[in-house]
Structure 1
Amino acid sequence: MAAWFCRRLAALTVSKASSYLGHKELSCSCSASLPSRIHPVVAGLHDSVNALLAWTKAPAPVQAASTLWIGAGMDHLGHLLSSLTDVLHHPQVQDPERRRCQTASSWTERLLRDLVVIADAHSCFSDVLVSLKELLGEAQAAVRNGDATRLAAALCTRRRSDRDLSSLAATLRAVSHRSNSPAAATSDSGEAALAEAVEAATCAVASASAAIFAGLASASASSVLRALTSPPTASSAEAMERLQNLEECFVAAEDGCKQVHRALVNARMSLLNVLTPC
């Protein structure tokens, strides 16, 4: 199922990311052309984007992933998606006149597509986590029993799951590096500012999600490989500790993934409501 999701995601996204494109922190000034009533809501979205980008740019932990690091990333994702939903629920955005104008906007169509891609990626991520947790149980049993053959088999299975995680991370990096020029798609300055803020939020969500996926893939590879190469006697307790730490990372990621996926679905439904003619 994970492989099917990855093929589906590949069909929905661009084939190659533009590596030279970077994320820029947003200033509240880019929403100055919006009506004053909606400005504070968009300003809150800017703050959430900048907080998430700051987490993404911060140095990764030495062990590639930790429960605190994953938890912080998932919390930032949840806050940003909540801010995005608040913007889409704002009466100014829900205004019938604005909704008629937004129905044909290219940036809203792109946002709908990107939200589907990111939500599907998190759904696929959840499936991969289930497989990795089962693998982890096999690896822990193999370490306890000193069964090198069983541990080697678990390593082979882990490689397939890690490739799925790496593929998902690459897909979302492509989304996060997509050209950010929504303002050119509309002549309305207020809508252009709103489009810029929403586009930046989508890119930040994709970038942070990719960082979490890649971090877990790296942590999984490191923990299982070290367990495989550890001596069967003196280092067995250390190997078990590494595997238990990895299990805690999987649990933290699984809990956060469910919340983020729900928030993505809610954001997409909110956008569909905005685009539905009265």
Structure 2
Amino acid sequence: MVSGFRRSVSLPGSNPSSSPARRRCEKPHHLRSASLPCRSHPAISHLLDQIRSFSDFGIRCSPASGLDRIDRLLSALDDILRLPQAQDPLRRGPAWADRLLDGFLRLADAHGSFRSAVVALEQHNAEARAAIRRRDPVRLDSAARSHRRAEKELIRLATAVKDLARCPPLICSDAAEAEVAGIVAEAMAATAATSAAVFLGIAAASSAVAGSMSKGSWTAWPSRRPSKKGSEEAEMAAMEKLEECMEGLEEGSGRVYRSSVNIRVALLNILTPSL
């Protein structure tokens, strides 16, 4: 997954070298009187906690847990965007606005498509189970092809958001603007990296189901010989693992979709006067 993910946000008291946006936009002797509240502000502390939690997201965490973390992060970001100290700097220079607005739109689209893919995978698994019960190799082969198509779609979705995780520096007019815009960009990057990891995790589980069906060699299926029974058990185990991975994903992806849309709307509302 994303166990190697390490990102930080540019906040008061942080190391100046930790944020490319600040290095490009902050002058050496600039006073940060218009900056965000101190780190002890509840909204800032909560957002920092959410950002830090992403560094622990790894292979042992379930995809549903990843979506829950994303939703909490976006909720914390929404709280930040309600602060006047955050809104005022954003209104001064929207040169980078299109990039963030496009990023959250892409995240919303990806999670909307992911939710549809999860629903489809549940149907494919049901088809495969029915084929095994009825000993129907044609129907099982069709289910295997559906799983392979789902795997490719999930990989495509992961690829579509991966570049958002790189978070290159934003061009800002001053340090206060760079600080707030940097926080939004960091949150978007964390969301994108974890989203890609979740998508790829489900793609791998879907691939395992398709692979177990191929190895089963059900085309002959003349009798329930022990080898066939073993293949059937392997297929059922792969499907059960996929179902376990998908538990809660339909609801979780729906929440992340709505949260991404809400963040984009909040940014639009802040930036509209200067666009």
Is the contact made by 1:99 and 1:276 (CA closer than 8 Å) also made in structure 2? Answer: no
1:17 equivalent in structure 2: none
| Identity fraction in percent | 32
One-letter amino acid of the counterpart of residue 52, structure 1: F
The corresponding residue for 1:25 is 8
Aligned residue type for 2:98: E
For structure 2, the residue ranges without an aligned partner over 5 or more in a row are: 17-31, 217-226
Q: 2:95 aligned with 1:101, yes or no?
A: no
- Within the candidate set 228, 233, 238, 1:232 is matched to 228
**Residue 62 of structure 2, aligned match among 58, 62, 69:** 69
Q: Is the 8 A contact 1:53 1:208 kept in 2?
A: no
Q: Which residue of 2 aligns with 1:135?
A: 124
Q: How far, CA to CA, are the matches of 1:91 and 1:160 in structure 2?
A: 47
2:124–2:143 Cα contact (<8 Å) kept: yes
The residue type paired with residue 153 of structure 2 is D
Once the two structures are superposed, residues 208-251 of structure 1 have per-residue CA deviations (whole angstroms, 9 ceiling, x without a partner) of 00000001000111123214424432453453243133123224
C-alpha contact 1:46 1:197 (8 A) present in aligned 2 = no
Q: CA RMSD in A?
A: 2.5
1:156 corresponds, among 127, 138, 145, to 145
Q: Does 1:44 align with 2:29?
A: no
Deviation digits for residues 94-130 of structure 1, max 9, x if unmatched?
A: 44xx45414xx22332111100011001111112222
Which of 78, 84, 90 is residue 85 of structure 1 equivalent to? 78
> How many Å apart are 1:23 and its aligned residue?
4.4
* Aligned counterpart, 2:243: 247
- Counterpart contact for 1:30–1:193, Cα < 8 Å: no
Shift of 1:137: 1.1
Q: Is the 8 A contact 1:94 1:274 kept in 2?
A: yes
Tell me, yes or no, if structure 1 residue 270 matches structure 2 residue 260: no
Deviations 1:131-162 (A, max 9, x none): 22221111111122222222112111221121
Deviation at 1:206, TM superposition (A): 0.4
- Between the two proteins, the alignment pairs up a number of residues equal to 241
Residue 188 (structure 1) aligned with residue 174 (structure 2) = yes
**Counterparts of 1:265 and 1:79 in 2: how far apart (Å)?**
14
| Residue matched to 2:199 | 213
Give the equivalent residue in structure 1 for 2:100: 111
Give me the TM-score of the superposition, normalised by structure 1: 0.78
Secondary structure of 1:232's partner? helix
Q: Structure 2 length as normaliser, TM-score?
A: 0.78
Aligned residue identity for 2:133:
R
Task: Tell me the amino acid that sits aligned with residue 176 of structure 1.
Answer: A
8 Å CA contact retained: 2:209, 2:239: yes
1:167, distance to aligned residue in structure 2 (A): 0.8
- The alpha-carbon distance between structure 1 residues 73 and 258, as it changes in their structure 2 partners (threshold 3 A), is same
Per-residue deviation at 1:264?
0.8
Taking a change above 3 Å as real, the CA distance of residues 248 and 131 of structure 1, as seen in their structure-2 partners, is same
**Alpha-carbon spacing, 1:270–1:44, altered in 2? closer, same or farther (3 Å):** same
**Correspondence for 1:145:** 134
- The answer to whether the 8 A contact 1:45-1:83 is kept is yes
